[in-house]
A and B are shown apart, each in its own frame.
Chain A
Amino acid sequence: MNRTTGNRTKGEHELERYAALWEEARAIRGTSLGRDAWRRLRRQRAAMASLVALCVVTVLALITPLLPLQPPRRVDSDRIFMPPTFSRPAALDLDKLDADFGRKDLDLVSRALLDARLALFGGWSLPSICGTDELGRDLFSRLFWGARVSLAVGVVATLVSLVIGVSYGATAGYLGGRIDNFMMRLVDILYSVPFICVVILLVSILSEDSIRTWLESWHIDRITIFYLVVGAIYWLTMSRVVRGQIISLKNEQFVEAARTIGASQRRIIFFHLVPNVLSVVIVYLTLTIPSVMLFEAFLSFLGLGVQAPDVSWGLLVNQGFNVITPIKIYWWLVVFPGLALALTLYALNFLGDGLRDALDPRLKNR
């Protein structure tokens, strides 16, 4: 080709232009709401940092048995109320794994992790960098084991409320009319019940021997009852939120289209409508989990929450409350669990805010 400028043939210009357009066209990707939202989310630094932090916490909680922590249940009367220290604790007693770790109650995966830990680290464990409590138990280790329970309570109870709330709200919203009216009135009435009384009574009724053995035959132990009871309290608001969304969506074209091709009501509700409210639900989820975790702390304060020898953040914070007195303050027993709880709730809130901003189409172009 001639390199003299201006002597390029018209065809070559066109070719270049088309080539450039072609490249551009190929670079364009179709995008879904999800990916769009993800892109928006990525731009929010606080939310991303929270997401990362939460993932880290979750992973740590899941692999807790693998970490070289002191046994969370070992009562050591020589190490009572020790402030944070780097002194080496006693080595693990390999014969006492059950009492010290509650090994028998762990699921298979955790048990495997625990065995792996022993193989890797032997009897060595980290010093009590968060101090010890009134029975000499290491706080750092209890924070991790408590995370498992607290996060589980938060997630499971929220999921329970999700399942109940979404089904109920979607059904009410879609069916509309009198049924909707009736269902929502029921929700209003349930709202008026002081849930503290109900929780106390429900838990004590379900602890009666005959009922308890029946439930245990279904592998529903005390902590599962706890999840269910807490979930049964939080579904009310969820159902209202979902119902509102469904009502605004049910007259959309895609619903009518689904109806014309003969989809049953159930299918329309659960396969078509519900996925569209998912964004709202997800946001609500991330904002309910903190409420549930705080509720668990509240119940621990009243003596109704998680029981020994299980440990949760709520229980730890509550034990911390008892040691803030004008005589002496065992500050580490409050500060560390409080920080753990606060930072997790922080992260969840930021993530929820970020998700809401990312998923809300009205906030486009912001």
Chain B
Amino acid sequence: MQAIGRKLFPYLAAILLLLAAYFAVAGERRAPADFTFVNGTEIKSIDPAISTGQPEGRIIRALFEGLVNWDPRDLSSTPGVAARWEMSEDSRRITFHLRDDALWSDGTPVTADDFVYSYRRLLDPLTAAQYAYQLYYVVGAEKYNRGQVAVGDRVEIERFDPPSGAPPHARGELLRGTLLEYAEAFVDDPAAGKTELSDDEQRERLRRRVRMYTIEIDGEARRFKTGVAAFRDEPEFDAYEPVKQVLVDFDTVGIRAPDDRTLIFELNNPAPYFVSLTGFYPLYPVHRETVERFGSPDWMRPENLVGNGPYRLEERAFRDYIRLAKSETYWNAENVKLDVIDALAVESNVTALNMYENRQVDWTPVVPTVILPELKKQDRDDLRVAPYLTITYFRFNVTRSPLTDARVRRALSLAIDRPEIVDKIMRGGRTAATSFVPIGIEGYESPDCCQHDPEEARRLLAKAGFPGGKGMRKLTLLHNASEDAEKLCQAVQFQWHDTLGVEVELVRQEWGTYQEKVRNLEYDVAIAGWIGDYVDPNTFLDMFVTGGGNNNTGWSHAEFDAIIKERAPRERDPEKRLALMRQAEEILLAEMPVVPLYFPERNYLVRTYVKGLHNNILDVHPLHDLWIDEAERERQTAPRRKR
């Protein structure tokens, strides 16, 4: 037996290997798409409620449509599902009138109820949507999303299981009543007796919280409790029925659908840009029946997904490509020119460039910065340079000396030669920052800052007690592992040493650790970036209110808070409001908890035969606006035989 095995073995092995090789090579080839582009790395999710990035945005905008669309030229609001809208006199109520011919891809009409459902889902604390706060302009939304209740409120109680007869992934059975009593208890409270809690301790404490509600339903007082699984079964709370969550009744939130075609929002403060905000993709609707029938993640599979956008999801190969096909049910289908679009997931910038140069893709939004100057020199007509509403800056940890002193911070800022960095080190692709809010917001003019003044810098530093940098400890400059971040930080490290004699140690961390350290204020100086979510200075300034989730500097300023949180939102006159914003930015730039560095541009390569792709400062390029000039494409590809 063994002898035979031995004889046959080499042949067996060879056959096995050849089989494996055959399977490797035998794959299905798919027909080429009308338009192929690189969509960054694999998107996190198609669910509008939980996505946050730009690659996700491109796909979601193709599959779904919101109340309004953004015109790609100037980002003004154009009708989407909503045909028209009105604002009330005091700008606090907005009424949208939905069009009659908006359909889901299964043929059913898009109704106002779909939007109410989707917005509730976005605000549901258990969805854990990052962009839920965008809806905080709406009355009652923040309270709902934070799960806050007060005695006397009308509340809704969500049980664990859906009511009988409901689809499997529908919401739990709902009861409604009025809150009579509310109490919290912490099981094995880890923070007992402590006054100041660290973030971790807070989290741990909240984990062990059991909330007890006494609610009157139909005249009867009933008891309910919510809390993390492990603590719900504590015997002291036996008398309370465990439920999934208790929130204020969603009826108290200012979103109403009086009929199928009308949607009304009640806002806390006049917010003229709220209409524009409904074009931001987390606020897109999802199809209720599909979500409730299949649940996550199955409802997003190509065979199940129902959307109301210009395209439908044809295929999705993880980390490979997403194929979109034109939707016949879209109300504006006749103006959608491209039938099949492929979005490729590519990890490396260099690879994206190679694919573009090799004519495998028609558009790549990522260009390796090293090559950019060379590309510009070549004066290519397929290179687009677009301003972008984004800033790269440094954060200071103002809780650590010597950065507690604003003079030190200002000195450090004045010592940076931004034009040199932008032109010579980063080799273009950016504009030196002259403010914190980037240029490009119409009607808004930022105060000036950030000149290069080494003399003044040295003077300030000396006044702060560190003449020539003596006596100042070594600062750590934290950055993540990107080539640009490294180049920038090395250049600044050099400049600070050169001009001020300040020593800096560069600390590169991989991304997860870097985020943690910034959050926990475990750094001296850290590189940072921010992209505007919508076209208004608020998206840049409201980060820095006291205790803001994205503040991470330890900076706190009462007047700044007052403007951003109270005065500006209440100001109805847009010009006056922007003037208030400018005041806030002035405070920010005088105190300098952050050092603006530069505003990166958006550079991308797109073939000249692709039309409809316009530059705008939010870099939003809806796919349904694109079309291809076939004649031009023929001309460009004919001389070079396609592989």
Indicate yes or no for A touching B, C-beta below 8 A: yes
B:351-394 near A, CB below 8 Å: 353-354, 357-358, 368, 370-371, 374-375, 378
- Name the contact of B425 in the complex, choosing from A77, A98, A321, A324 (C-beta under 8 A): A77
**B491 CB contacts on chain A under 8 angstroms:** 75, 135
Asked whether, in the complex, the Cβ of B483 is within 8 Å of the Cβ of A309, the reply is no
**A324 CB contacts on chain B under 8 angstroms:** 350
How many whole Å from B490's CB to the nearest CB in chain A? 5
Interface string of B20-52 (1 = CB under 8 A from A): 000000000000000000000000000000000
Asked whether, in the complex, the Cβ of B427 is within 8 Å of the Cβ of A322, the reply is no
B-side interface size class: 35 or more
Asked whether, in the complex, the Cβ of B486 is within 8 Å of the Cβ of A204, the reply is no
**B368 CB contacts on chain A under 8 angstroms:** 322, 325
Interface string of A45-87 (1 = CB under 8 A from B): 0000000000000000000000000000111011010000000
Asked whether, in the complex, the Cβ of B420 is within 8 Å of the Cβ of A308, the reply is no
**Chain A interface residues (CB < 8 Å from chain B):** 73-75, 77-78, 80, 96, 98-99, 104, 134-136, 200, 203-204, 207-209, 303-304, 307-309, 319, 321-328
**B498 CB contacts on chain A under 8 angstroms:** 96, 99
How many whole Å from B17's CB to the nearest CB in chain A? 24
Asked whether, in the complex, the Cβ of A98 is within 8 Å of the Cβ of B497, the reply is yes
B493 at the interface (CB under 8 A from A): yes
Interface centre among A307, A319, A321 (most CB of B within 10 A): A307
> Would you list 20 pairs from A and B whose C-beta atoms are within 8 A, ordered by A residue?
A75-B491, A75-B494, A77-B425, A80-B424, A80-B427, A96-B497, A99-B497, A134-B487, A207-B507, A303-B482, A303-B510, A307-B507, A307-B508, A308-B486, A308-B508, A309-B490, A325-B368, A326-B358, A327-B374, A328-B371
A78-B424, A134-B487, A327-B371 known; A322 vs B350 contact (CB < 8 Å): yes
How many whole Å from B280's CB to the nearest CB in chain A? 32
**A304 CB contacts on chain B under 8 angstroms:** 481, 510
Interface centre among B494, B497, B509 (most CB of A within 10 A): B494
Asked whether, in the complex, the Cβ of A99 is within 8 Å of the Cβ of B494, the reply is yes
Asked whether, in the complex, the Cβ of B490 is within 8 Å of the Cβ of A308, the reply is yes
Asked whether, in the complex, the Cβ of B370 is within 8 Å of the Cβ of A323, the reply is yes
Q: Cα distance A313–B494 when bound, in Å?
A: 22
**A80 CB contacts on chain B under 8 angstroms:** 424, 427
**B304 CB contacts on chain A under 8 angstroms:** none
CB closest residue in chain B, given A319? B483
Asked whether, in the complex, the Cβ of A327 is within 8 Å of the Cβ of B375, the reply is yes
CB closest residue in chain B, given A304? B510
Q: Cα distance A135–B491 when bound, in Å?
A: 8
B512 at the interface (CB under 8 A from A): yes
Asked whether, in the complex, the Cβ of B357 is within 8 Å of the Cβ of A326, the reply is yes
A135-B491, A309-B493 known; A207 vs B371 contact (CB < 8 Å): no
Q: Cα distance A74–B493 when bound, in Å?
A: 11
CB closest residue in chain B, given A136? B424
**B506 CB contacts on chain A under 8 angstroms:** 307-309
Interface string of B383-425 (1 = CB under 8 A from A): 0000000000000000000000000000000000000100111
CB closest residue in chain B, given A203? B510
**B420 CB contacts on chain A under 8 angstroms:** 77
B:487-504 near A, CB below 8 Å: 487, 489-491, 493-494, 497-498, 503
Q: Cα distance A321–B368 when bound, in Å?
A: 12
B332 at the interface (CB under 8 A from A): no
**B483 CB contacts on chain A under 8 angstroms:** 319, 322
The 8 closest A-B pairs by CB, nearest first: A77-B424, A303-B481, A99-B497, A204-B513, A328-B374, A326-B357, A307-B508, A209-B522
A75-B494, A309-B506, A327-B357 known; A135 vs B487 contact (CB < 8 Å): yes
Asked whether, in the complex, the Cβ of A204 is within 8 Å of the Cβ of B378, the reply is no
B288 at the interface (CB under 8 A from A): no
B614 at the interface (CB under 8 A from A): no
**A204 CB contacts on chain B under 8 angstroms:** 509-510, 512-513
B169 at the interface (CB under 8 A from A): no
B261 at the interface (CB under 8 A from A): no
B517 at the interface (CB under 8 A from A): yes
**A322 CB contacts on chain B under 8 angstroms:** 350, 368, 370, 483
**A303 CB contacts on chain B under 8 angstroms:** 481-482, 508, 510
Q: Cα distance A135–B488 when bound, in Å?
A: 10
Asked whether, in the complex, the Cβ of B513 is within 8 Å of the Cβ of A207, the reply is yes
**A319 CB contacts on chain B under 8 angstroms:** 483
6 additional contacts, CB 8 Å, given A134-B487, A135-B425? A73-B494, A74-B494, A75-B490, A80-B427, A98-B503, A303-B481
A207-B513, A209-B517, A322-B368 known; A327 vs B490 contact (CB < 8 Å): no
**A209 CB contacts on chain B under 8 angstroms:** 517, 522
CB closest residue in chain B, given A307? B508
Q: Cα distance A307–B498 when bound, in Å?
A: 21
How many whole Å from B483's CB to the nearest CB in chain A? 7
How many whole Å from A111's CB to the nearest CB in chain B? 17
How many whole Å from A63's CB to the nearest CB in chain B? 26
Q: Cα distance A96–B508 when bound, in Å?
A: 24
How many whole Å from B323's CB to the nearest CB in chain A? 27
How many whole Å from A320's CB to the nearest CB in chain B? 11
CB closest residue in chain B, given A322? B370
How many whole Å from B579's CB to the nearest CB in chain A? 39
Q: Cα distance A80–B421 when bound, in Å?
A: 12
A77-B425, A328-B371 known; A207 vs B353 contact (CB < 8 Å): no
How many whole Å from A311's CB to the nearest CB in chain B? 11
Q: Cα distance A303–B517 when bound, in Å?
A: 18
B:251-265 near A, CB below 8 Å: none
A98-B497, A99-B497, A308-B486 known; A327 vs B522 contact (CB < 8 Å): no
**A321 CB contacts on chain B under 8 angstroms:** 350
Q: Cα distance A156–B357 when bound, in Å?
A: 43
Q: Cα distance A324–B354 when bound, in Å?
A: 10
Q: Cα distance A303–B486 when bound, in Å?
A: 11
A77-B424, A308-B490, A325-B354 known; A207 vs B509 contact (CB < 8 Å): yes
Q: Cα distance A326–B375 when bound, in Å?
A: 11
**A203 CB contacts on chain B under 8 angstroms:** 510
- Name the contact of B354 in the complex, choosing from A136, A200, A307, A326 (C-beta under 8 A): A326
**A104 CB contacts on chain B under 8 angstroms:** 503
How many whole Å from A308's CB to the nearest CB in chain B? 5
CB closest residue in chain B, given A209? B522
CB closest residue in chain B, given A134? B370
**B371 CB contacts on chain A under 8 angstroms:** 323, 325, 327-328
**A73 CB contacts on chain B under 8 angstroms:** 490, 494
